[in-house]
Amino acid sequence: MGYLVRRTGQAIVTLVVAVVLVFVAVRLLPGNPLLTRFGQHVDPAQLEKLRVEQGWDRPIHRQLFEFVWQVATTGSLGESLMRSNASVAKELSERVPATIELALAALTIAIPVGLTAGVLASVRRGGWLDRVLMSGSLLGVSVPVFFIGICLRGLFPSMPAGFRLPLDVVDFEPWTGLYALDAVLQGRWEIAYQTLRHLCLPAVALSTIPTSLIARVTRSSMLEVLKADFLRTARAKGASRFSIVVRHAFRNAAVPITDMIGLQTGLLLSGAVLTETVFDWPGLGKYVVDALLTNDYVVVQAGGIVVATMFVTLNLALDLIYLLLDPRLRHG
């Protein structure tokens, strides 16, 4: 219990530090976001009025305090500086599900493929299968995602290579923002099918790194456990090979693997900027990066908060999962 409280406390401190850092950093960037809005028609009087309205004439700590107050009292994350009537909270509520859907799709590929490859490589250690799988995973980690994305687009020219749905579908209103789920809930089978098709290439591209990392960690973790005495005992007692590998070794190798999966999930959920850019996927990563390029303070700080929150929460959840997986930690 004490561990839980301590761990939650740490998470909150991390979150606060992250928010302050993002808030200050974005204001230190060169360039005035309002100038971008005015384009070639800057009106100095309007510009000054807006600057005061945004509170940029006040010291940065007061701006921070006012922002935190606004979030705490109204729950509003503000409106984008670049777009009229663009509630950032509302925009995020459309962007985050897009990222989650893509991340889930990528994990659906990465976890089974990565685990299977890792286990196979470990039991065939040194053999050709091991070598092929590990070279493949090395390639998977080192080739840039956007390159893989472009290759996939070239290899499967008939597959949709961008967006979540065909561009001329104009009558689909999502409920949760997870299109595949919404389409099924609404009984729109054709939309569900199109959603899955549109997910294919970006999910494959995005899954390469986590798949490879999971495979590598699984392999080394498995090798560690396979050497252990208790497995020799199990073998001596006549346990089947399958049962040794899957029931005994794999379970004991699970902690570092869970760690890796958790870390990767966090990364995927915080928005895969490159994949989202190559495939015009309207997700969180691209949203925040686009805002950074135009110095849209409001969007950047809100995006930063959401990413930090997701990351911290996920890490907290992971730690709790360890407690369940490894009884020894409960007394640590």
Task: Give the nearest distance from C-beta 56 to other proteins in angstroms.
Answer: 14
Q: Is 280 in the site for other proteins (CB under 8 A)?
A: yes
Site string for other proteins, 89-108 (x = CB under 8 A): --x--x--------------
For other proteins, give the closer residue by CB, 44 or 75: 44
297 belongs to the binding site for other proteins (CB under 8 A)? no
168 binds other proteins (CB under 8 A): yes
Residue 110: CB minimum distance to other proteins, A: 17
Residue 302 makes CB contacts below 8 A (sequence gap 6+) with 77, 78, 88, 89, 92
The burial of 101, by beta-carbon neighbours within 10 Å (0-12 exposed, 13-18 middle, 19 or more buried), is given as buried
Q: Which residue in 194, 208, 212, 270 binds other proteins (CB under 8 A)?
A: 194
187 scored as a contact of other proteins (CB under 8 A): no
Using rule CB under 8 A, residue 167 touches other proteins: yes
Largest distance between two CA atoms of the chain: 86
User: How many CA atoms are closer than 13 Å to the CA of 33, on its beta-carbon side?
Assistant: 23
Stretch that binds other proteins, among 65-73, 82-90, 229-237, 305-313 (CB under 8 A): 82-90
By CB under 8 A, the count of residues binding other proteins is 55
Residue 212 to residue 266: CA distance in whole angstroms = 16
Distance CA 14, CA 308 (A): 8
The least CB distance from residue 270 to other proteins, in Å, is 18
Kindly state the smallest distance separating residue 280's Cβ from other proteins, in Å.
6
Minimum CB distance to other proteins smaller for 40 or for 72: 40
**Nearest to residue 159, comparing CAs of 197, 131, 192?**
197
Among 15, 24, 47, 109, binds other proteins (CB under 8 A): 47
CA end-to-end span of the chain: 12
The helix/strand count (H/E) of the chain reads as 17, 0
Q: Which of 2, 5, 39, 126 binds other proteins (CB under 8 A)?
A: 39
Which DSSP symbol is given to 243? I
* Interacting residue with other proteins among 18, 163, 239, 259 (CB under 8 A): 163
Q: Is 136 in the site for other proteins (CB under 8 A)?
A: no
The distance of closest approach from Cβ of residue 65 to other proteins in the complex, given in angstroms and rounded to an integer, is 24
Looking at the Cβ atoms of 20 and 35, the one nearer to other proteins is 35
Compute CA distances 94 → 88, 173, 213, 220, whole Å: 10, 12, 30, 39
As measured in angstroms, the least distance from the Cβ of 132 to other proteins is 22
What are the distances in angstroms from CA 93 to CA 56, 88, 97, 175, 303? 27, 8, 7, 11, 11
Q: How far is CA 136 from the centre of its chain?
A: 23
Return residues touching other proteins (CB under 8 A).
Answer: 30-44, 46-47, 49-50, 53, 82-86, 91, 94, 153, 156-164, 166-168, 170, 189-190, 193-194, 197, 200, 277-278, 280, 282, 287, 293-295
